[in-house]
Amino acid sequence: MNARLDSESRIQEDDHLALKLWLRLLTCTNMVEAVLRQRLRDTFQSTLPRFDLLAQLERHPHKLTMGELSSLMMVSGGNVTGLVTQLEKEGLVSRTALETDRRTYQVGLTPRGQKYFQRIAEQHEQWVVELFAEMGHQQQEQLMDDLLALKQSVQQATATL
């Protein structure tokens, strides 16, 4: 009887654990985001979504379509349209047509966009390193692994149910 109660309360505890875990994850992300957003604004008069879009283009040297950008950035297509239009107006990214498919095109960094991004990215990385610095290398590795497990857990749980 005690055993039964124990296994039940274990389940309860696990439930709360997952919820607490989720709330802590959210808190951590929000804290880091807030710092980066503030510093991007103060130092470069720029914003996270702009930086994120440029970073995706840098990370994928073959250029990206709007749809690819949308799914990489995990935001809606309409959102990407707005950002690209803005950045194109500033000469930081370019749209280049494809012969094979006239519905789509590729977005890429212009030379000016590359320089612009590099300048910000260097500082941005320093900020991130700084924010994570109190964690040891090994703990960072462990966190990497555990987050990978979480990512896979979420994918598992949402796979075509």
Partner DNA sequence: TGATAATATTTTAAATGTAAAATATATTAT
Partner DNA sequence: ATAATATATTTTACATTTAAAATATTATCA
Contact footprint for a copy of itself (CB under 8 A): 14-15, 17-22, 24-35, 74, 125, 128-135, 137, 139-144, 146-158
Q: By the 8 A CB rule, do 63 and 106 touch? A: yes
Q: Of a copy of itself, DNA, none, which one does residue 159 interact with (CB within 5 to 8 Å by kind)?
A: none
Query: How far apart are CB 77 and a copy of itself at their closest, in Å?
Result: 14
Residues 112-131 contacting DNA, CB under 7 A? none
Instruction: Identify the residue among 32, 35, 37, 58 touching DNA (CB under 7 A).
Output: 37
Query: How far apart are CB 84 and DNA at their closest, in Å?
Result: 6
Q: Of a copy of itself, DNA, none, which one does residue 43 interact with (CB within 5 to 8 Å by kind)?
A: none
Q: Of DNA, a copy of itself, none, which one does residue 97 interact with (CB within 5 to 8 Å by kind)?
A: none
Q: By the 8 A CB rule, do 117 and 55 touch? A: yes
39 interacts with DNA by CB under 7 A: no
Task: Tell me which amino acid residue 47 is.
Answer: T
Q: Of DNA, a copy of itself, none, which one does residue 80 interact with (CB within 5 to 8 Å by kind)?
A: DNA
Instruction: Give the 3-state secondary structure of residue 118.
Output: helix
Helix (H) or strand (E) holding 109: strand 105-109
Measured between alpha carbons, how far is residue 113 from residues 4, 48, 53, 55, 105 in Å?
63, 15, 11, 10, 18
Measured between alpha carbons, how far is residue 123 from residues 11, 29, 77, 81 in Å?
45, 19, 29, 27
